[in-house]
Amino acid sequence: MTAIAWTRRRRALGRFWEQYSRQRAGVVGAVILVVAVVVALATPLVSDPDIMDVTKATGEKMAPPSLEFPLGTDESGRSILGMIMWGSRVSLLIGFMSALLSMVIGTVVGIAAGHFRGWVSAVLMRITDWFLVLPSLVLALVLSAILGGGTSTIILAIGITSWAGTARLIRAQTLAVEARPYIERSKALGAGHWHIMSRHVLPNVAPLVLANTTLQVASAIVAESTLAFLGADSGQASWGGLLRGSYDWGAATKGAWWYILPPGVCIVAVVLAFTLVGRALEAVLNPRLRGNA
Amino acid sequence: MTEVATARKTLLEATDLRVEFPSRGRRAKAVDGVNIAVGEGEIVALVGESGCGKTTLARTLLGLERPTAGRVMYGGAPLSYTSRALKAYRREVQLVLQDPTGSLNPRHTVYEAVAEGPRIHGLPDEERIVAEALSHAGLRPAERYFLRYPHELSGGQRQRVVIAGALALQPRILVADEPVASLDASVRGEILALLLRLREELGLAALVVTHDLGLAWNIADRVAVMYLGRIVESGPVEQVLKEPRHPYTQALLSVLPESPERVVLAGEPPDPTRVPGGCRFHPRCQVLASGLADEADVGHRCRDEALAVLPAVPDAQAACHYANR
Amino acid sequence: MTLLELHDVSVTYRIAAGEVPAVRNVDLALAAGEALGIAGESGSGKSTLAMALLRLLPRGARVDGRILLDGEDVLTMKWGRLRAVRWASASIVFQGAQHALNPVRRIGDQIAEPLLVHGLAKNPGKRVAELLGQVGLPAWRARSYPHELSGGQRQRVMIAMALACEPRLIIADEPTTALDVMVQAQVLSLIKKLMAEHGISMIMISHDLSVLADMCDRLAVMYAGRLVEVGPSREVFHDAKHPYSRALAAAFPTVGDPASRMAPRGLGGDPPDPMALPTGCPFHPRCPVALPECSSAAVELWPAGPGRTAACVHVLEDPPAAAVPDEARVAVDKEAS
């Protein structure tokens, strides 16, 4: 029986891919993402972390692109290309991890607030509202200042300031699922809270969670860049950190476009790619959108 | 009351049940004093229009709603609302809803849908239970349906899956809320025949909530007609449907397509937040409106004197001043 | 006088998996002032046929044949003409009135809309009040929003909208399915009264043969996209020639009839997949009186009495032995001997 179940699952996956591949923008986004992830994973194989070390910089300071340094050098003579490749690891890691954290919090709070009525829901939603109206950037800055630097701090800071919107979305979807007759049937069969939330609600909100996570990664990368630009960085070179470096050294006024443009383009490309993938996933997984797509 | 409630041994019973909800700043008396009993292996039809409280009554009997007053008795003992007691109660009393499409999670296969109950209750030998439940519900060979999804089945098959899901817990009584209302005419008879067969094979009792008097005629032993939170007439089907005594039952029967003379009641089904004084049916009552009640000198009682709650007895009875004059 | 004529009408839906024939070769005629009921289970094509009459089908659907309304072919009409026809000659009342009304507009404005669009009323407010009166609603209801009305009242509003431009044909698709028995009786008697008063023709669609028999002069029963029986409604209901019509008629019992007491009657099996119809008579796999040849021999609507046709080989037999119930056959045998 399990074999047949697996065949079915594989077929469902095939159907999903068939529909996804019809979303042209989504495919473009997915290609950009694959390239970015491959670069991030392969960087340690092709590049030496020493190139990040100011003391071991080999190039001329603020040199325009050349054969040796295809994207020029920074104020310390380090390769911009190398920095971007190493920076992609930090940016993507922070993006993924903080989005994951935010989605876990958002999903748990959202499902709980939608399933339990009464005071539990009320308390959870007031907390959510509080996080929703809080200036999250300022909160993240404060948090990273209190908790001290480091990648995990940044992840935590972004994660716990960005889940409120997700929680509202998941709660709305949970309420819609809870109104279905099969929930009533399940209760009559003797189901408890955990059974209903895990067996009926979660599988039904999962597609929404997936699509939303993808969008969340994009905004987490932007948030990381902003934090880094404002000085709350993880201590490691990221794309946002590069932009800050270019600002600190007045790259714009000095005409050093190679210092500003590459990290900026990378951020825009990856954020756009995540957004495109998220929208495509939403269109494929949400039957209501599928109808008029 | 329990001893005399039905000729059969009483299985499920409600005594003086009341369920109220807050509704737009008022109290809606959805169930406003009901005595009803279902005996072992008995099929009882609860008939009424939407808003009469029949669905609330059914949910309360299932323990999904807590009564404001009165109590639900199962097997002679009052229903306890602790989660452990309720869970045990679920294995005795099961639910079948109107819309089989909505009653099944579209992401669950037939097997998962039927196995849900046994899994919740941790019953051993799940696959055998599921196969047996499906074949009792008329889906044979059961294995062929295991991996189907609800959208791959017809409406009638889906309702059979819902019924199989209830049977998997081996209950002694089904509460079915409009079990055929959303099914095609041709499938309707099949599902009703299934309920009769389950009674024969498994001794399964049923309380069928419906607006359809034809359904009561088709399968029920007894019928209870509900109006505005109260049972206004009850008794053996043959007696109540052939010689209805309450004007409301008479009107319901008269609007069936084949009936010779129609009494179409004017106005809308009444509002449970504003229960009229006197007989609760008197503002719409055709007997009172025609002057017959006044001729018999009961008109003033219809307008002013409330009727007692009907007891849960098997004999035919009507809550009507005119009929009981 | 014939108001509506259908000649060899077929409707095919194009979907990813291929073409789905939903309605096949339907011939029907409706006289002015007549009420015709179309019965069948879901998927029989009855609603598709109704929608095709006013070209209300989605874009993926192809309609073949001819649909003549007052002798004019609906299928070849220009859009402007079709729009005029949709209101002025024929209008449609859908099931589920709660969704067909715009929730944020007042009832009166919605009833007046077609009047204003077609410039039919000088004083729309007065006409709206008149229409509301005809369907038994007070004039002040014009200022109400749909959510302030009950289901039955909303269905009345839908009927008022259908009447607004004084059509000569009303197509009612399960107009009372979602309503309670008593409200259903109210709406049905209202429709009956209005039809008689205004001499309107009606096509009513339902799966409940007993309601159709009550409301209509003639009945057409559809199965798997085809007409399987047509005839005067009382006769079709009480003495159906096609076993499928018989099953539909028996599905809703007559209260008090001892034959149906503790004996609900249904029809085994499921409606066929329109893309893979059984050979021969499409009903033969579910037919309780099927003969060996039914699985191969083609069926068509054969004459089955005065004004009646049925697509069943049993009507060709003379006398119709297998088509009548056993007791009746015994009676026939006794007479013969």
**What residue segments make up the domains of chain B, in order of their start?**
10-92+171-243
Residues C211 and C290 in one domain: no
Could you write out the three-class secondary structure of chain B?
CCCCCCCCCEEEEEEEEEEEEEECCEEEEEEEEEEEEEECCCEEEEECCCCCCHHHHHHHHCCCCCCCEEEEEECCEECCCCHHHHHHHHCCEEEECCCHHHHCCCCCCHHHHHHHHHHHCCCCCHHHHHHHHHHHCCCCCHHHHCCCCHHHCCHHHHHHHHHHHHHCCCCCEEEEECCCCCCCHHHHHHHHHHHHHHHHHHCCEEEEEECCHHHHHHHCCEEEEEECCEEEEEEEHHHHHHCCCCHHHHHHHHCCCCCCCCCCCCCCCCCCCCCCCCCCCHHHCHHHHCCHHHHCCCHHHHHHCCCCCCCCCCCCEECCCCCCC
Average pLDDT, chain A: 84
Per-residue pLDDT tens over the stretch B234-262:
999 999 999 999 999 999 999 887 777 88
Q: Examine the domain organization and report whether C194 and C299 are in the same domain.
A: no
Task: Give residue C328's pLDDT.
Answer: 40
For B260-275, what is each residue's pLDDT tens digit? 788 888 776 678 888 8
Taking contacts as CB-CB distances below 8 angstroms, the residues of chain A near B165 are 185, 189
> Is residue C273 one of the residues assigned to a domain?
no
Inter-residue contact C124 to C112 (CB < 8 Å): yes
Amino acid C218: pLDDT: 94
Number of compact structural domains in chain C: 2
How large is the ipTM?
0.84
**Contact criterion met (CB below 8 Å) for C21 and C10:** yes
Using pLDDT thresholds of 50, 70 and 90, give the confidence band for residue C97. Answer: low
Range of the domain at C91: 2-223
Buried b (16+ CB within 10 A) or exposed e, A178-202: bebbbbbbbbbbbbeeebbbebbbb
pLDDT at B1: 38
CA gap A166, A132 in Å, rounded: 10
* Cβ–Cβ gap A8/B147 under 8 Å: yes
Q: Residue C327 pLDDT more than 60? A: no
Please report the pLDDT score of residue C321 as a whole number.
44
> Does residue C235 lie within any of the structural domains?
no
Residues in a beta bridge with C69: C4, C72
Distance CA C92, CA C158 (A): 9
Give the model's pLDDT for residue A10: 83
In-domain check, residue C177: yes
Asked whether the predicted pLDDT for residue C329 surpasses 80, the reply is: no
Torsion of CA C148, C150, C155, C157, to 10 degrees: -30
Q: What is the mean pLDDT of residues A2-17?
A: 76
Average of per-residue pLDDT values in chain B: 90
Q: What CATH number did the domain enclosing C190 receive?
A: 3.40.50.300
Residues C163 and C248 in one domain: no
pLDDT interval class at B200 (50, 70, 90): very high
Rounded to whole angstroms, the Cα distance separating B249 from A277 reads: 61
Average pLDDT estimate for B189-218: 93
Which 255-314 residues of chain C touch chain B by CB within 8 A? 255-257, 260-268, 270-271
pLDDT value, residue A224: 85
pLDDT band, residue B20 (cuts 50/70/90): very high
* Proportion of chain C above pLDDT 90, given as a percent: 23
Task: Tell me which chain C residues have a C-beta less than 8 angstroms from the C-beta of B264.
Answer: 182, 185-186, 189
Give the separation between CA B237 and CA B44, rounded to whole angstroms.
9
B90: region left, alpha or beta (phi > 0 left; psi from -120 to 50 alpha): alpha
The pLDDT tens digits for A132-187 are: 888 878 888 888 888 777 788 888 888 888 899 999 999 999 999 999 999 999 99
Q: How far apart are CA B181 and CA C163, in angstroms?
A: 29
Question: Using one digit for the tens of pLDDT, what is the confidence trace for A119-141?
Answer: 999 999 999 999 888 887 888 88
Identify whether residues C195 and C287 lie together within a single domain: no
Domains of chain A, with CATH numbers?
17-43+80-292 (1.10.3720.10)
C139 lies in some domain: yes
pLDDT at B5: 42
Residues C163 and C22 both lie in one domain: yes
Residue C337 reports pLDDT greater than 70: no
Residue pointed to by tokens 């709603």: B65
Whether chains B and C touch (3+ CB pairs under 8 A) is answered by: yes
- Per the domain annotation, does C134 fall within a domain? yes
Of B90 and C328, the one with more pLDDT? B90
C7 and C139 inside one domain: yes
Same domain, C74 and C112: yes
pTM of the model: 0.82
pLDDT at residue A287 in the model? 55
Residue with the bigger pLDDT between B92 and A229: it is B92
Distance from CA of C11 to the nearest CA of B (A): 22
Average pLDDT over residues A234-253: 80
CATH 3.40.50.300, applies to B10-92+171-243: yes
Q: How far apart are CA B104 and CA B115, in angstroms?
A: 12
Residues C154 and C262 in one domain: no
Distance CA A215, CA A195 (A): 29
CB contact (8 A) between residue B187 and residue C266: yes
pLDDT band, very low/low/confident/very high, at C325 (cuts 50, 70, 90): very low
C274, part of any domain: no
Band of pLDDT at residue C334, cut at 50, 70 and 90: very low
Q: What is the pLDDT of residues B129-161, one digit of tens each?
A: 999 999 999 998 898 899 888 988 888 899 999
Q: Is residue C230 part of a domain?
A: no
**Residue of chain C whose Cα is closest to the Cα of B212:** C181
* B258 closest CB neighbour out of C183, C210, C266: C210
C258 with C190, same domain: the answer is no
| Domain identity same for C101 and C189 | yes
CA gap A64, A78 in Å, rounded: 12
Q: Is A202 on the interface with B (CB under 8 A)?
A: no
- Kindly state whether residues C95 and C10 are assigned to the same domain: yes
Share of chain B above pLDDT 70, in %: 97
Chain B residues whose CB is inside 8 A of the C185 CB are 255, 262, 264
Residue C141 shares a structural domain with residue C260: no
SS3 C219: strand
Residue of C nearest to B222 (CA): C262
